[in-house]
Amino acid sequence: MLEGRKILLIITGGIAAFKAIDVMRLIRKAGGEVQPLMTRAAQNFVTPMTASTVSGKATLTELFDLSREAEINHIELVRDADLIVVAPATGNFMAKMALGLADDLASTAILARDKDVIVVPAMNVRMWESAATQRNYKQLLADGMQFLGPVEGSMACGEFGPGRLAEPPEIFDAICAYFEKGQSLKGKHFIVTSGGTREPIDPVRYISNASSGKQGTAIAQSLLNRGAKVSFIYGASDVPPPAGVDAIAIGSAQDMYDAVHRALPADGAIFCAAVADWRPKQAGAEKIKKKHDGTTPSIEMVLNPDILKSVAELDQTKRPALVVGFAAETENLVEHARAKRQRKGCDWLLANDVSPETGTFGGDQNKITFFASDQPEDWPKMSKSGVAEKLADAISKHFGDA
């Protein structure tokens, strides 16, 4: 099940650290490799010798160990792993991850990571429910980390509530599920649009919007993680395209329309870009000069091509099997989104509230109402990477059931 997979298991200092030994045993039984890394506090509960014996690899403990740094430095450590798991993750270590501290080998490995992280918290219920830990939890979600638990139950201290470490079989199942996703969309081709378009007024001015491109980029990454080929057509963005996509940079809505139709055929198309509805009918060949008499220029506007509708209305020989649209709304979200889905002819539509008080437009989180039918499904507010994972899971299920 995990043949050829390499997991870096970071064990931090909580009473539940002993359960990490069973997690390592399960990983090895399934054919995976596990490299244990223990904080100094963790060694009060489990010895490095025990972890080394079970894992079959020398347990790493010190950042400034010259012999180990010469053999495997902290950068190569995370580059060599396919997945990082922190189990148990104490409140202290969650705080260090959220703040980007790097004062030992474990926290330095997290800061240097280029792999996904599954965080499995374990702590006293009061510590978990504290404002500081909840703030750190939200920050780590926004940073793209995945969480398992904590689960509710009796604590070693005698209290009851959320804070217990998930059991080793649950942690093992989460690891297996992570790698299973890597094949769920293998052989499928998706088009993803992202970012904002820029409609020129003259050579130095344009009409655009505050789209950051973060949501579309996260969706493309989630599809890549499941083995899909992704044509990523993007406009103005605050973030770079994910490594591994076929990245196509565009400027205007017409540019995006042309790039999308050139990228067909595709199995699916996700239209996440914030496309300008209108453009100036005629862009000035020279910079429009300010008039000293106080008058302002008059700009005649025309409609841009409707990219989502143009693809959704293609005949069945050319239309992607799944067409997904986005609707950014500031009022009457359900009513407007339901009407847009019907008007555009897309299969699914994700509506997000971008009213100023939500802080979602250009931010790191999103609040989605999902339409796969006329009955909406409200998703909790989550990081944009969380939205991407949830959407990619739904897409994988859709093609798996098809």
pLDDT tens readout for residues 47-60: 999 999 999 999 99
Mode of pairing for the β-strands spanning 6-11 and 33-38: parallel
- Say what the alpha-carbon torsion angle 279, 281, 287, 290 is, to the nearest 10 degrees: -90
Query: pLDDT tens for residues 350-369?
Result: 999 887 666 556 677 888 99
Please state the φ and ψ torsions of residue 25, each to the nearest 5 degrees: -60, -45
Say which amino acid occupies 202.
Answer: D
| DSSP H/E element including 319 | none
Q: Which residue spans within 268-366 are E strands per DSSP?
A: 268-271, 278-280, 301-303, 322-329, 348-353, 365-366
Q: Is the pLDDT of residue 40 over 90?
A: yes
Which is catalytic among the residues 157, 176, 272, 346?
Answer: 157
Residue 307, annotated as binding a ligand: yes
Q: Where in the sequence of the chain do the CATH 3.40.50.10300 domains occur? A: 189-401
Residue 157 catalytic?
yes
- pTM confidence score: 0.64
* Largest distance between two CA atoms of the chain: 84
Model confidence over 310-340: pLDDT tens digits? Answer: 999 999 999 999 999 999 888 889 999 999 9
State how beta strands 205-207 and 229-234 pair. Answer: unpaired
381 annotated ligand-binding residue: no
Phi-psi region of 244 (alpha: psi -120 to 50; beta: other; left: phi over 0): left
Domain limits, CATH 3.40.50.1950, in the chain: 6-181
Would you say 306 is a known binding-site residue? yes
CA distances, 260 to each of 2, 6, 252, 276, 362 (Å): 37, 37, 12, 16, 23
Per DSSP, the three-state class of 392 is: helix
| 344 marked as part of a ligand binding site | yes
CATH, domain range 189-401: 3.40.50.10300
What is the CATH code of the structural domain delimited by 6-181? 3.40.50.1950
Reported as a single tens digit per residue, the pLDDT across 192-249 is: 999 999 999 999 898 888 788 999 999 998 898 888 999 999 999 988 888 789 999 9
